[in-house]
Amino acid sequence: MNLGFGTPTALILLLLIPLIGFWIYRFGRRRSSDLLFSDFKLIPSHGKLGGIWSELLSPGMRLLGLTLLIVALARPQSSSVSSETETEGIDIVLTLDISGSMKAEDFQPQNRLFVAKEVIRNFIESRTNDRIGLVVFARQSFTQCPLTLDYIVLQNFLDEVTFGMVEDGTAIGMAIANSCNRLKDSPSKSKVIVLLTDGVNNAGEINPVTAAEIAKTLGIRIYAVGAGRPGTAPYPVDDPVFGRRYVNVENEIDEESLRKIADITGGKYFRAKDETGLKEIYEEISSLEKTKIKTKQYMQYSELFIYFLASGFGLFLVEAVLSQTRFRKIP
């Protein structure tokens, strides 16, 4: 609650209070009356209290009453602010490639999938008021977590993502179609797919470009991320006899198709060449897709002048009554 004045210029009149006080002190006491009386013993005396009343209390009550009336004239007010917030969240499906090629260790500290999961976790933690879902794919695609506002549950499902959940392969078109199916009935004005893959579409019945056309029809934007350094990457091979060894595997990312997918839907294509680049890409996507928050503020005022007005007139009334009764001055 805040205090203020509706007519603050009226407070200028307070400058008159010291002048009036000075005039009462300098000239008010000169007024006196003479009365011939045979014996003052018959007149009741007020003693010291009467002197204090006439010299200090009575003028003080008048000045204080006048001060309160001037403050009332300035219309003191109390104000309180109430706000109404409207949020317009975004529905986001995080579509993650879990094919065998994501085992490549050109991203540290482990492999592409490990780093992607950590980056996605940070992306989830940076969002508010957005429904987020998780779709994973290899040769087939399935929904790991439907759209939800419960980010803890979503992160638990993300923790469970690993290799071998489905048969190996890369069905990018099917992954986009599945993600679109998650978003097609969404009432949100902004619908987004963040697709991360490190390969070329080699499975599924739907072509990625065809799936992108479906997304465009549904008003869904696709941000496509290609993961992997140019050239070759160390790929682990577990040999039952000789243990784990590494072979260099050529990185194959169909950047042309991914770029076309993003362009068709009004999104954007990114290439992540290392773990730092992948993190920056998801941060940029998060900044591009901001939740809309509208706040309306209302100011409510309560007039307080009546309390000062009543107090001022009350002081004048008490002073007048006492001056004509208990401390009445005999001329």
Residues 296-311 pLDDT 10s: 666 777 888 888 888 8
DSSP-derived secondary structure letter, 59? H
DSSP string across 62-109: HHHHHHHHHHHHT-EEEEEEEEEEEEE--EEEEEEE-SGGGG--SSSS
Q: Give yes or no for a contact between 266 and 221, defined as CB atoms under 8 angstroms apart.
A: yes
Query: Is the domain of 12 the same as that of 143?
Result: no
Q: Give yes or no for a contact between 99 and 111, defined as CB atoms under 8 angstroms apart.
A: no
53 inside domain = yes
Cα–Cα–Cα angle for 156, 157, 160, rounded to 5 degrees: 95
Alpha-carbon radius of gyration of the chain: 41
Query: Is the domain of 8 the same as that of 131?
Result: no
Residues 83-97 pLDDT 10s: 665 667 899 999 999
CA atoms within a 13 Å half-sphere pointing along the CA-CB vector of 141: 27
Query: Is the domain of 62 the same as that of 169?
Result: no
Edge to edge, the sheet with strand 220-227 lists: 141-148, 131-137, 91-97, 191-197, 220-227, 268-272
- Reading the chain (331 residues) residue by residue, the pLDDT tens digits are 678 888 888 888 888 888 887 787 777 655 545 555 555 455 555 555 555 666 677 778 888 888 888 888 888 888 777 666 566 789 999 999 999 999 999 998 889 999 999 999 999 999 988 999 999 999 999 999 999 999 999 999 999 999 999 999 999 999 999 999 999 998 888 999 999 999 999 999 999 999 999 999 999 999 999 999 999 999 999 877 777 888 999 998 999 999 999 999 999 999 999 999 999 999 999 988 876 655 566 677 788 888 888 888 888 788 788 777 766 655 5
Query: Is the domain of 253 the same as that of 118?
Result: yes
Question: What is the number of other CB atoms lying within 10 angstroms of the CB of residue 19?
Answer: 9
33 inside domain = no
Query: Is the domain of 179 the same as that of 146?
Result: yes
Residue 101 phi/psi, 5° resolution? -65, -20
Query: Is the domain of 248 the same as that of 309?
Result: no
36 inside domain = no
Number of domains in the chain: 2
Query: Is the domain of 60 the same as that of 95?
Result: no
69 inside domain = yes
284 inside domain = yes
CA distance 96 to 145: 12
Q: Which residues form the domain of 136?
A: 90-290
CA distance 35 to 49: 22
Query: Is the domain of 193 the same as that of 103?
Result: yes
CATH code at 284? 3.40.50.410
Query: Is the domain of 157 the same as that of 277?
Result: yes
Query: Is the domain of 123 the same as that of 53?
Result: no
Element (H, E) at 141: strand 141-148
Query: Is the domain of 127 the same as that of 236?
Result: yes
